[in-house]
Amino acid sequence: MDQIETFRAFNRFHTRLIGALAPRFLGSEMGLPEARLLFEIARGQEPLAAELGASLGVDAGYLSRTLSRFEARGWIRRTRSAEDSRRRPIVLTEAGGALFADLDRRQRDAVTDIIGGLSPAAGTLAVQALADAQALLGGGAPGFTLRTFRPGDMGAIASRQAILYAEGWNWGPPMEVLLGEVTTSFLRDFRPGREQCWVGEVAGRMAGSVFCTDSGEPGLAKLRLLYVEPFARGLGLGEALVEACLTFAREAGYEAIELWTHTILTSARRIYAGKGFRLMRTEMHAEFGDPIQGEYWRLEL
């Protein structure tokens, strides 16, 4: 797939879909750039012209001319800041508010028609894909949420980690077998209050996970299967997952927690060290193919 051509093809499709090329956006009195500016004024907290220009990335001259046209039509007025008389916040007039309300209704109706033409499952998939694209392309710093596991998570976790380890380190079937065994055992023998799995999500999409399990030894927990999706790295998700695991282990009454990792997994090792884990010993093995150095870490709780 040619990424550039795919991107450009979607741009052409989307501009046609939303009517961006029409001289009058959704049959209103203005084109899309003007409609977007009106939206920013309506949803802003009495924005300044400079703030509008920065948020929209438009030319200062174009912005000034458009605002002057809005003012001449009685849609906006410029007030004066009580703190600084040089600042001229922009607000909608009653006529501007009515214009925005009508335009907002038209946009909602148009989007409702688009989504309404899809099945419920397809609509959910489309909206999720748009949220993913916005997060990946930098539409504001994406945040993440944590939740405990739910039906279907174990298979998804095992699948994603098997794929990522195969792509990144060429760890094949033996790793996939281990992942399946750990997740199956967790579900089959799950001990509420003593064990838990957390899933991190970005824009509603699974972005990582971690497990806290009972080792079988008195007072000892295990941290297992920590991973973060490539698209979610750099957000602090891995650290948050580990912290959730440690908090749970302490509250469950464990005295210590151990984990098994590998020297090449530098990002995970950095998190463990930052949380106070200590490297206890290393061991070479070839369970996943080529010889590799495993590491055993421990934290007294």
| CATH number for the domain whose boundaries are 3-117 | 1.10.10.10
What was the pLDDT predicted at 201? 93
**Whether the Cβ atoms of residue 144 and residue 232 lie closer than 8 Å to each other:** yes
* Sequence spans of domains, the chain: 3-117, 145-300
What pLDDT is recorded for position 123? 84
Query: What pTM value is reported for the model?
Result: 0.67
Instruction: Report how far residue 152's alpha carbon sits from residue 200's, in angstroms, rounded to the nearest whole number.
Output: 14
Contact 211, 223 (CB under 8 A): yes
DSSP for the chain, please give it. --HHHHHHHHHHHHHHHTTTTSSSGGGSSS-HHHHHHHHHHHHSSS--HHHHHHHHT--HHHHHHHHHHHHHTTSEEE---SS-TT---EEE-HHHHHHHHHHHHHHHHHHHHHHHTS-HHHHHHHHHHHHHHHHHTTSS----EEEE--TTHHHHHHHHHHHHHHHHH---HHHHHHHHHHHHHHHHT--BTTBEEEEEEETTEEEEEEEEEE-SSTTEEEEEEEEE-GGGTTSSHHHHHHHHHHHHHHHTT-SEEEEEEETT-HHHHHHHHHTT-EEEEEEEE-TTSS-EEEEEEEEE-
Q: Let me know: does 248 contact 242? Beta carbons within 8 Å.
A: no
Cα-Cα-Cα-Cα torsion 152, 158, 160, 161, nearest 10 degrees, comes to 150
Cβ-defined contacts of 278-286 (< 8 Å, 24+): none
Q: Do residues 179 and 211 lie in contact, with contact meaning Cβ atoms separated by under 8 Å? A: no
Instruction: With beta carbons less than 8 A apart as the criterion, state whether 109 and 28 touch.
Output: no
Topology given in CATH for the domain delimited by 145-300: Aminopeptidase (3.40.630)
Residues pairing with 223 in the sheet: 212, 259
Query: Which pLDDT belongs to residue 139?
Result: 61
Mean pLDDT per 10-residue section of the chain, whose length is 301 residues: 86 84 80 85 80 81 86 85 72 86 88 88 83 71 86 96 94 94 96 96 90 96 96 90 97 97 94 96 90 95 94
- Tokens for 277, please give them: 């884990």
- 8 Å CB contact between 142 and 193: no
Q: What is the reported pLDDT for 46?
A: 78
Q: What is the structure's pLDDT at 191? A: 95
d(CA 8, CA 255): 56
In this chain, the answer to whether the domains covering 3-117 and 145-300 adopt an identical fold is no
